[in-house]
A and B are shown apart, each in its own frame.
With several copies, the nearest count.
Chain A
């Protein structure tokens, strides 16, 4: 699974991208966030603040109950501020 981080979440986690292989019981975006948070304190802190982290699966916005599977590209980022 390819994980991507953007904006201040990227600087919090300390990397823009990583390959991970979560256990089989990680089946949703929410599961993945909890699993990633376990040994990424910056990520844990960010998702602890409500409403500041958004997710996308394969380049579409995804809620915490959205499924994830091996091979997916999953991105985490703050609310967008373009335009």
Chain B
């Protein structure tokens, strides 16, 4: 099945999740399932209620050119693995405030499992393969976010048997 709606957007402006999802399936009657994941800036680090770890703003740095290239590769891989009718990745860069969306991935398929699995795949792979770096502003000095082992583990579960 050829996906008829593949889209990658890397942008500074905020976006409207509802409008983006509506566009994904607009005017179509062949889609049975749409899965989406939205990542948002949240106002705390780690466990909820930790009062020493408030986040005032987040700045996303990216590698222009390579970012678009990697996102397109990730989306193409999802389309190879699942019978998708549409897929969408939007990722912002620049400075953003708590409550604002950072990233949206969405997939559409005739069947539920393909939509759900490919959506999880897109965000898990994107986390470890797309060249973005987060800088957190809290009470004190801004600090670069460390990569997490749990992200590598989440991506690893999508590795195919012939990959090392």
Contacts and interface: CB of A to CB of B under 8 A. Distances in A.
Given A77-B133, A81-B147, A83-B112, A59 B127 contact: no
B81 interface: no
Contacts of A61: 129
Most chain B CB within a 10 A radius of its CB, from A10, A59, A61, A75: A59
A17 to B, nearest CB: 11
Interface string A68-82: 000000010111111
Contact of A6 (B61, B112, B129): B61
B132 to A, nearest CB: 3
Nearest to A4: B63
B91 A82 contact: yes
Nearest to A75: B63
Give the interface size bracket for A toward B.
10 to 19
Contacts of B63: 4, 6, 56, 59, 75, 77
A8 interface: yes
A7 interface: yes
Nearest to A11: B144
B139 interface: no
Given A78-B144, A82-B91, A56 B132 contact: no
Contact of A80 (B39, B103, B128): B128
A56 B102 contact: no
Nearest to A54: B131
A80 B134 CA distance: 8
Interface of A: 4, 6-8, 10, 56, 59-61, 75, 77-83
Interface of B: 39, 60-63, 65-66, 69-70, 91, 102-103, 112, 123, 126-135, 144-148, 151
